[in-house]
Chains A and B, each alone.
Chain A
Amino acid sequence: MELTRDQHLAMHRSMVRIRLFEEAAGTLMETGKMPGFLHLYVGQEAVAVGVCEALRVDDYITSTHRGHGHLVAKGGDLARMMAELMGKATGYCSGKGGSMHINDLSLGMLGANGIVGAGVPIAVGAGFRNKYRGTDQVAVAFFGDAATNIGAFHEAANMACALHLPVVFVCEHNMYGEYTPTSKAMVIADIVDRAGGYGMPGVIVDGMDVLAVHEATTEAVARARRGEGPSLVEAKTYRYYNHHGIQNLGLKYRPDDEVLAWKGRDPVFSFEQRVIDAGIATRDDLDSIWSDVRAEIARAIEFADESPFPEPDALLQGVYTEMGA
């Protein structure tokens, strides 16, 4: 089915929300207003948005250490996200989880995860739950290229295929595991080559093109809902900033012209050009989305700033099951 104008604009808004949220959060962290450190999703927006726009609210996703984009794309509340990153009681995890545990179960977002590859078996568990209960919900596992060198990925992929579960594995292949080029860590260059080893189809898609990601994911989700089992979508993409933060730390682990070449295919700006060329929206329409989102980010920061830190007596809340008297 052809996407409507509203769907195009929703995808654009979602990518802009990720871009501006991440840049604001990165700046807050590096100016000392936000504790800890962040792995920013800038550059990869088309993947999260293309995938999540192909999902229903009741579908599940699991995320990674670079997880803000996934929650935003699933419909996350920027104010609660910002509050969580600032460690405030109004945040998604009451200020006790931070960036790498952020989640919203009401949106089916089962959590970011600080352990590389650890979200993959959780998605397979969600897929098992869906099949066991006889629902037509689908579970999506987001993970990076380096995560496919982790045992958890292989066990989860095997189990999903053996049990024929409604799971879509989405590999965000951004060419680096932290600061190590993928080419130094594995012989193969395409993660889809691993899919066949477990008996599922795997496809490569341009991860800088939100419509390409959306179309491929729509196919993968549809076959999962039909009971045809798991599949793997490998999105070739790129992270603009370093493994964490915004500032250039002087690390020379990737060539400048490579970074510039990928930025030349920016997922947000290239999508804007397409929708303008196709007569779907005007420059003014898109500029007004940027303005709306900037205002939303400002409100989110204000909300987080004004929110209280968690009280000391909340320390053990959410840690243990309440057994009752």
Chain B
Amino acid sequence: MTPNAAVRLRRLTRHHRDVHALDGVDLDFHAGTFTAVMGPSGSGKSTLLQCAAGLDRPTAGTVEVGGVALEGLSERRLTLLRRDRIGFVFQSFNLLPSLTAAQNVALPLRLAGRRVSRPAVREALARVGLAGRERHRPGELSGGQQQRVAIARALITRPAVLFGDEPTGALDSTTSREVLDMLRDLVDRESQTIVMVTHDPVAASRADRVVFLTDGRVAGELTGPTVETVTARMTGLETDRVGASAGGAAC
């Protein structure tokens, strides 16, 4: 409804065979804000992110990114849009093992057929604190460093939104904090829009807003979250769920 929504989801539904991963989700992610999406395992939060980022196609409903509807785009158009407007960071980094850090960062631009300037790549790596590591391959970098290469790669095209699917999930708490500081910085200083799925209340508390998901539906949200309020809300959701499914496996 607000004019400055970077991502707008309407009646978003996604079925995997007979499992309703998403069941009519309406959400707006505003430009220049940092949103965390939380929910128990199987609540559909990763599916939500992949649909919003155009990596997966919803069964029904619409996705708009920066005012462009993704519905009905060919795989090629969708890829081009993703390449230009959307950055994505995964839990498992997803770097190409055969390419160096600099080559990995430059890959989206090279795939788009654009000229890649060496200083731009060096600057992108410097921005995530990896100056001087251009020639290292992923195997020679620590987990935190690899995730920072992935973030630099996601940002090289100056996307409208940066999506993160548990970006700190594979990192220890210190490295995790460094990466979160960096993401917070990007929002505060460069007005980057970030949407992040996480199960970690500490990570979620760094966002401006936390959206809670259960069984493919929005179950509430918090603005200005703290570790305590997030943890309390999550505990409440999980006990509700266990109670509802009468002790059925939650995972």
- State whether these chains interact: no
Query: Chain B residues in contact with chain A, CB under 8 A?
Result: none
